[in-house]
Amino acid sequence: MPRREVDPRQELPALELEVLERWRERDVFAESLRAREAAEQWVFYEGPPTANGPPGTHHVLSRVFKDIYPRFQTMRGYRVERKGGWDCHGLPVEIAVEQQLGISSKAEIEEKIGIEAFNAACRESVFAYVSEWNRLTERIGFWLDLEHAYRTLDESYMESVWWALSEIAKRGLLYEGHKVVPYCPRCETTLSSHEVALGYEDVVDPSIYLKLQVSGGEERLLVWTTTPWTLPGNVAVAVSPGATYARVRVAEEVFLLAEDRVGPLLGEGSEILERLTGSELVERYRSYRGPIFAASDREDGELPILADAFVTTQDGTGIVHLAPAFGEDDYRVAAAAPNVPFDPTRADTLYNPVRPDGTYDGRVLSSEGRSYEGRFVKDPALTEELIADLRGRGLVLEVQEYEHSYPHCWRCGTPLLYYAKPSWYIATSKLREEMLAANETVNWYPPHVKHGRFGDWLKNNVDWALSRERYWGTPLPVWRCPRGHVHVVGSFAELAERSGIELEDHHRPYVDGAGFPCPHTDEPGGEPCGEPAKRVPEVIDVWFDSGSMPFAQHHFPFENEETFRERFPADFICEAQDQTRGWFYSLLAIATLLSWPAPYKNVVCLGLILDEQGQKMSKSKGNAVEPWPVLDTYGADALRWYFFTSKQPWDGYRFSAEAIGEGVRLFLKQLWSTYYFYVLYAQASAEELREASTDSQGNGRPGGAAEDLDRWALSRTAATAELVGERLDAYDATSAGRAIAGLVDELSNWYVRRSRRRFWEGDPAAFATLRTCLLTVAKLLAPFCPFVADEIYDNLDGSRASVHLCDFPRAAEVAPRDDELEGAMELARETVRLGLGARGQAKIKVRQPLGEAVVVADGREREGIERLADVVREELNVRRVRFVAAAEELGSYEIKPNYRTLGPIFGKEMPRAAEAVAALDPAHVAAALRDGSVIGIAVAGRDHTLSAEDVILTMRAPDGYSVEREGAHAVALDLAIDEDLLREGRAREIVHAIQSSRKTAGLQVEDRIELALSGDVSLLEAVTEHRDSIARETLATALHIANDADGAAATLDYSEQTDVEGLVLSISLRRTQPGPA
C-alpha cells in the first residue's frame, strides 16, 4: 500500500528539496557505498574543476553525466567510490588575485606584495566559490564525496606530483630546452599548447610586403610578414625549395617571388622574365642585404637565403623572413643552417632584442638612430612607426590589412608572442607510440574522437612544455648548482634530509629557501660536487597536477598503495570535448611516462552548450544561462532529463528552456499522473487489496497477472529493463532514457487507459501489475532522475531507505517476457488505430456503438488480434469483431515486389523482375500463397519461385465502405445503426452528461448519488432500457425516471438542464454517501 497521498499538481522542485532532506536524514549516499563495500570496484575519476568562480550550466551538464553512470553501476552491484577533487593552482587563480589586489605584473607581485602574501591570497581565493559548487552539486543530485575531496594544493598531493616528476627525470625524459614558445608578455609566462588552444581570436593585422635587395644584383626579394615587430630579429629569409619562383619586372624594378603569387600581387603591369625553383634561387642569389632594422650591436652585412619545405606559396609571396627568437619554424630552420650565425647550443648566439615584458631592449634603432627601447612590440602606434621607417627606406612594396586567427592569452586576452625561452620540457614525443598504443585500449564516446581529434593530437605530439614562470603552483622540484648540475627531488623527506629544513608548506616562497650541497657525481662512486644547489624558480603546469590525480589523490606511492592499485585505471571519466588536449591528454601522458597502462577505459566527451539562438555562451555577451533559475523553475530531474534525452550529448546542445518544460510535461508529469492514479485508487480500494493475495505486497511479482493486458504491461516493462541496462552499459543514456519514456507512455496511454474499470473495481491483479511496472520504472529511472524516482519508490515500496539502494532491474526478475503477446498487442493497437480512422472518416462518434468491425487478418496475425479481441471491441465500441482471412470480402489486393529479398537475386534484372511480379494477378497470388501452391516468375531465362516474403500484398479499399487500411491490414465498420444501437448510444451520451453534472456539482469520483432524470421521452426510453448500467457508471444508488423534471428535482441538491443530441435532459442529483461503501 502506498503510504502517502499524492498531489496531482505536485511542483517538482519542491518535491526534490524534500527528497534531498530525506537523503540527508537517511544518509543514503554513504549507505549506497556501504552496501557495496565488499563488491568489485567500478572506478570513476572526477576531473577537478577550479572553484574560484561560480559553476555554470555547462558544469551541470558534465556533472549530471558524471552522476548517471556511477549511480547505474552502483545499482548494478559495483562499488563506485566518487572522490571529489579541486584543481587549485594555476594562472586563473593568480589572475583573479591580481585583480583583487589591483596589480597586473610579476614585478608588482614580487616587489609590492611579496610571493608569500600573494600565494596566501591565492590559497584563500581558490575556494571562494567552493560552497556554491557544493550547493549546486548537491542540488542537481550529483553524488560525490565532497568531504574527502582531493585538492591539488595539499602537501600530500604535491609530494606525489614531485615523485612522478622525479620518476620521469630518472627515465631521462625531463630536460631544459631553449625553444620558441607561445608566451604572454603580460603574464610573463609561457603557455602550453592546450592553453594556447583556448585563446584563438580573429584579428586584423598589417600584412607587409617588403622588398629586400639581393646581395649581388638589383633584384629585390618580395618578403611577406604579418608581424613587423619581429623584423629586428631577422637573420635570414627562406623560400620553398620545390616551388617555382619568378623574376618579374614591374616598371623599373625586378622582383623575386613565387610564381603563384605574381598574379594576385602584382597583377597586369608585370612581366615574368624568368622562372626558377626555390633551390635554384638560393643557389644563384645566396644572400640579401641586412639587417632589416639597424641595431647597436649588429653590423650591416649579408644575410643568407635559405630553403625549407615549411614555406608555402599559398599566401604572401612564397618568401618569408626568419627570426629564430620569434618563430618555431624560424628557430628550427635557422638552427639547422650552417651559414646563419646562430648556434642552438649557445643561448647567447640567439638574437633576441625583445625583453620578457614584450618591449624592445635598447639595441633596436630607427633609421635616424633613435632607440625603440621600452616600446611594447604589439602596440599599434609602434607598428605604424616601424612601417613608416621601412617605407622611408624604400623597402615597402605594399601594406594591407590581414584578417586571421591569432592566439591570445586565455586569461588576460593579450596577444601572445612566439618567443624563444629557456623552459623545462618532458620529452613526450619519445613516447608517442606508447601513447598511441594506450589509446587503442580506450573506448571513446563518441567513437570518432579516438582516431580523430584525440588520436590525431597524439600522432602530432610535441614535447610537453612543463614549466611556468609563476608563483601559485606546485614548485618544479628541480635544484641546480652553479656548475649546472641538475637534481630532481622526489619526496619531501629527501628535501628535508638534504637541506636540513623541514617545511610545513612546500609552496613558494618557502621551498625556494631550501638549498643543499649538489649531490652530483661526475663518475659513479666519485666525490659529490657539493656546490650549493638552488631550486629553479618555475612552477609546474597545472595540467600536470590534474593529470596526476589517479595516484596523487591517494598520496601514492607514499601511502595507500592498495587503494591506488584497486582504483587504477578508471572505468569511466567524462568531461567536455575541450579536455581532449587538456585533462584527457595529461592523464594519458603521465600514465604512459610512468609506464602504466591507459588510465581510463571509457571516456564520454560532451559537446558545447549554445544559447537559444545557437550562439556560444559567454560572460561578455551576457547570454550565459544560469543554472539556479532553471533548477528553481523546472527542477533538477527536469534539467537532467533534458541533458540525457534531448540528444546525443557529444553533439552539443542548443539550450532551450522550452524543451525542458516539454520534458516535464510529456514525461515527468505523465509518469507522475500515472503514479497519482495508482495511489488514488489503491487507497480507495485499500480494503479489497488487503484481502487479496499477499503477493502484491511482496517482491513485486504479482500472484496472478489476470489478463493478457497485465502480462503485456509486465512483458513490456521487462523488455525495457533489459534495453535500458544494455544502453547504459554502452554509455548511451539518450536511447536508454527514451526507452523509459516510451514505456511510461505505453503504461499511461494504453495499460491504464484500458484497465481503468478494473482499478475502479479494485481488481488486485491490476494493482499488482501497475505497482510492479511503476516500481520497475522508478528503478530504471533512478540514475536519470534520482529525485522523482526515489519519491515513487519510497511511497510504493520503501522497504529500503531509497531506490538508490536497490539493484537495477534485470528483465528476468521483473516478469516473464512474452514476445508473441507484445506483437499481438502491437497489432491490436494498429487495428484500433485503423478502426478509429474508419470512424473518423464516417464521422461517427466513438460513443455511438456500432454493430460490427470487420478485420482483415490471417494466420498468426489473426490469432494475435483474436486473443485481444475484447480490447479491440471496447476501444472501437462495436458489438462484434469479425475476421476475414482474405481481402476479397472488403476489396481487392494490390501486389508489389519486395525489393529487399528480390533485389539480391535478380540484381541488374530487378526492374524486369518487378514488372513480372506486377503483371501477376494479385488475388491468384494471394490464394496460391495461402494454399501453399507454387507461383513462379521467369526473368532473363531464370526461374524463381516466389515465397510469401518476395511479394507485398496490400489491400485496395472498395468505394462506398468505411475502410482504413495499412499494408496487409484493414478494418471496415458496419455503419448501420438500428434502434437498439441508437438507444445504447444515447445511454452513453446520458452517462457522459451525468458525469459532467457530477463534476459541476463538485462531487468526488467515489461519491454515491441519488439521481433523477427527466426530459425528452426518447431519451428516457434509452434510460429505462440501460437503467442498470447508467446507475452503475454514475454510482447512483437510486435512479428516478420521470417526465416531470420539476418533480424529480424537488428533493435533490443539484439540478441542471442540458441537451443530448438536441433533446432536452434534466439531471438532478444528491450525494448520498461519500466514498466507496
Partner RNA sequence: GGGCGAUUAGCUCAGUUGGUUAGAGCGCUUCUCUGAUAAGGAAGAGGUCCCUGGUUCGAGUCCAGGAUCGCCCA
Cα–Cα separations (whole angstroms), residue 106 to 91, 180, 189, 362: 12, 21, 10, 21
Largest CA distance in the chain: 127
Q: List the one residue from 270, 414, 673, 1058 that touches RNA (CB under 7 A).
A: 673
Cα 385 versus chain centre, distance: 50
Q: List the one residue from 437, 488, 617, 846 that touches RNA (CB under 7 A).
A: 846
Asked whether position 833 contacts RNA by CB under 7 A, the answer is yes
Which CB, 167 or 1033, lies closer to RNA? 1033
Catalytic one of 475, 579, 611, 794: 579
Which CB, 536 or 671, lies closer to RNA? 671
Binders of RNA among residues 175 to 214 (CB under 7 A) are 193-194, 196-198, 200
Which CB, 198 or 501, lies closer to RNA? 198
Least CB distance to RNA at residue 930 (A): 21
- Burial class of 203 by CB neighbour count within 10 A (0 to 12, 13 to 18, 19+): middle
Which CB, 536 or 777, lies closer to RNA? 777
Least CB distance to RNA at residue 764 (A): 18
Report the 10 Å Cβ neighbour count for 857: 21
Please provide the DSSP assignment of 864-875 as one string: HHHHTHHHHHHH
Q: Find the radius of gyration of the CA atoms of the chain.
A: 40
Binders of RNA among residues 971 to 1010 (CB under 7 A) are 988, 992, 995, 1005-1006
8 A C-beta contact, residue 369 and residue 360: no
Binders of RNA among residues 399 to 418 (CB under 7 A) are 404-405, 407
Q: List the one residue from 646, 715, 717, 772 that touches RNA (CB under 7 A).
A: 646
Catalytic one of 229, 543, 650, 712: 543
557: annotated active-site residue: no
Using N-to-C axis directions, what is the helix angle for 636-645 and 733-746, rounded to 10°? 110
Which CB, 658 or 943, lies closer to RNA? 658
Least CB distance to RNA at residue 911 (A): 5
Least CB distance to RNA at residue 832 (A): 8
Least CB distance to RNA at residue 72 (A): 21
Interface characters, 887-916, with RNA (x: CB under 7 A): ---------x-xxx--xx--xx-xx-----
8 A C-beta contact, residue 1035 and residue 999: no
User: Per DSSP, what are the bridge partners of residue 139?
Assistant: none
Q: List the one residue from 676, 883, 961, 1054 that touches RNA (CB under 7 A).
A: 676
CA dihedral 722, 728, 729, 735 (to 10 degrees): 80
817: which residues sit within 8 A by CB, 6+ positions away?
715, 718, 719, 811
Which CB, 563 or 670, lies closer to RNA? 670
Catalytic one of 616, 621, 845, 896: 616
Least CB distance to RNA at residue 829 (A): 8
Q: Which three cell numbers stand for residue 224?
A: 611577406
Report the 10 Å Cβ neighbour count for 1070: 18
Count of residues for the chain? Answer: 1077
Which CB, 80 or 713, lies closer to RNA? 713
Q: What are phi and psi of 104, to 5 degrees?
A: -150, 20
Q: List the one residue from 9, 38, 943, 979 that touches RNA (CB under 7 A).
A: 9
Catalytic one of 42, 457, 583, 750: 583
Which CB, 293 or 655, lies closer to RNA? 655
Query: 397: helix, coil or strand?
Result: strand
Please provide the DSSP assignment of 978-1017 as one string: -HHHHHHHHHHHHHHHHHHHHHHTT--TT-EEEEEEEE-H
579: annotated active-site residue: yes
Q: Nearest CA to 480 among 527, 529, 428, 524?
A: 529
Q: List the one residue from 104, 563, 670, 697 that touches RNA (CB under 7 A).
A: 670
Least CB distance to RNA at residue 898 (A): 7
Least CB distance to RNA at residue 760 (A): 5
Binders of RNA among residues 847 to 886 (CB under 7 A) are 847
Least CB distance to RNA at residue 949 (A): 11
Catalytic one of 202, 314, 348, 619: 619
Q: Nearest CA to 396 among 185, 193, 601, 255?
A: 255
Query: What single letter denotes the amino acid at residue 120?
Result: A
Least CB distance to RNA at residue 1076 (A): 8
694: which residues sit within 8 A by CB, 6+ positions away?
none
Question: Among 670-678, 723-731, 937-945, 971-979, which window interacts with RNA (CB under 7 A)?
Answer: 670-678
Buried b / exposed e along 988-1006 (16+ C-beta atoms within 10 A):
bbbbebbeebbeebebeeb
Checking phi first, is residue 1061 left (phi over 0); if not, alpha (psi -120 to 50) or beta? left
Least CB distance to RNA at residue 892 (A): 14
E strand segments, 214-339: 220-225, 236-239, 244-250, 253-258, 270-277, 287-290, 301-307, 319-322
Binders of RNA among residues 1015 to 1034 (CB under 7 A) are 1032-1034
Binders of RNA among residues 77 to 106 (CB under 7 A) are none
8 A C-beta contact, residue 361 and residue 355: yes
Binders of RNA among residues 258 to 277 (CB under 7 A) are none
504: which residues sit within 8 A by CB, 6+ positions away?
155, 510
Asked whether position 845 contacts RNA by CB under 7 A, the answer is yes
8 A C-beta contact, residue 1021 and residue 983: yes
Q: Which residue has the cell 595516484?
A: 551
Binders of RNA among residues 583 to 642 (CB under 7 A) are 608, 614, 616
Q: Nearest CA to 40 among 14, 76, 3, 88?
A: 76
Which CB, 9 or 346, lies closer to RNA? 9
619: annotated active-site residue: yes
Asked whether position 571 contacts RNA by CB under 7 A, the answer is no
Which CB, 417 or 533, lies closer to RNA? 417
Interface characters, 1034-1073, with RNA (x: CB under 7 A): xx--------------------------------------
CA distance 541 to 231: 31
Question: Among 376-384, 488-496, 672-680, 882-890, which window interacts with RNA (CB under 7 A)?
Answer: 672-680
Catalytic one of 48, 477, 649, 922: 48
Binders of RNA among residues 120 to 139 (CB under 7 A) are none
Binders of RNA among residues 304 to 343 (CB under 7 A) are 314
Which CB, 366 or 748, lies closer to RNA? 748
Least CB distance to RNA at residue 86 (A): 23
CA distance 327 to 324: 6
Binding residue count for RNA, defined by CB under 7 A: 82
Catalytic one of 49, 70, 73, 87: 87
Asked whether position 665 contacts RNA by CB under 7 A, the answer is yes
Buried b / exposed e along 454-484 (16+ C-beta atoms within 10 A):
bbebbeebebbbbbbbbbbbbbbbbbbbeee
Asked whether position 117 contacts RNA by CB under 7 A, the answer is no
- Give a three-class secondary structure readout of 1027-1067: HHHHHHHHCEEEEEEECCHHHHHCCCCEEEEEEECCEEEEE
Which CB, 489 or 1031, lies closer to RNA? 1031
Binders of RNA among residues 417 to 476 (CB under 7 A) are 448-449, 452-453, 456-457, 460
Which CB, 659 or 1064, lies closer to RNA? 659
Interface characters, 723-762, with RNA (x: CB under 7 A): -----------x-------------xx--xx--x---x--
**Catalytically annotated residues:** 48, 87, 543, 579, 583, 616, 619
